[in-house]
């Protein structure tokens, strides 16, 4: 049995499938909450956890009586846009766990193959092991190094 979160996510994904030509859909938080018989904060949770930049979405919202939610699917027409997006979501520091989550999301979006993901994960794990044992690098510096390596590897793949 699916959780309410999964049901709401599936519903929104189906709306995107129905509107194949559209890269954005607009919804009303209140209407969704009434449709699913839940509180608006449940809709907020789904949007914050399932429709993130890492998963290829940007959520715009306006609260209030006539508030709306606009979910934009991120598409890349040129490699430079993909690189810019990657650099934005990786940031200046990333933990190994966050890097794995990001790589899984990129694979789900078919921006990475399973093989590319595995190679990057192995490199990240190696860096983490070397930095923490052989060089006694601080956790922040290690996360900064991981972010830089991750961005360089993803940038190289985007341009390939």
Helical spans, DSSP H, in 19-138: 29-36, 40-50, 79-90, 96-108, 114-133
Residues 38-76 pLDDT 10s? 998 899 899 988 898 878 888 888 776 667 888 888 776
d(CA 150, CA 123): 9
How many C-alpha atoms does 133 have within 13 Å on its Cβ side? Answer: 6
pTM check: above 0.85? no
Residue pair 142/132 in contact (Cβ under 8 Å)? The answer is yes
- Whether 99 has a pLDDT exceeding 70, the answer reads yes
DSSP designation for 11: H
Residues 117-140 pLDDT 10s? 999 999 888 887 877 776 777 888
């Amino acid at each position: 049995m699916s959780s309410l979160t999964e049901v709401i996510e599936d519903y929104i994904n189906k709306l995107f499938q129905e509107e194949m030509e559209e890269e954005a859909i607009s919804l009303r938080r209140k209407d969704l909450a009434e449709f699913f018989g839940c509180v608006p904060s449940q809709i907020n949770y789904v949007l914050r956890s399932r429709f993130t930049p890492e998963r290829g979405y940007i959520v715009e919202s306006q609260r209030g009586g006539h508030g709306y939610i606009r979910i934009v699917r991120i598409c890349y027409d040129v490699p430079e846009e993909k690189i810019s997006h990657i650099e934005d979501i990786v940031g200046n520091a990333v933990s190994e766990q966050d890097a794995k989550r990001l790589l899984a999301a990129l694979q789900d979006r078919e921006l990475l193959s399973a093989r590319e993901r595995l190679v990057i994960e192995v490199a990240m794990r190696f860096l983490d092991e070397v930095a923490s044992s052989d060089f006694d690098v601080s956790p922040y510096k290690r996360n900064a190094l991981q972010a830089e390596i991750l961005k360089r590897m993803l940038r190289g793949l985007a341009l390939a």
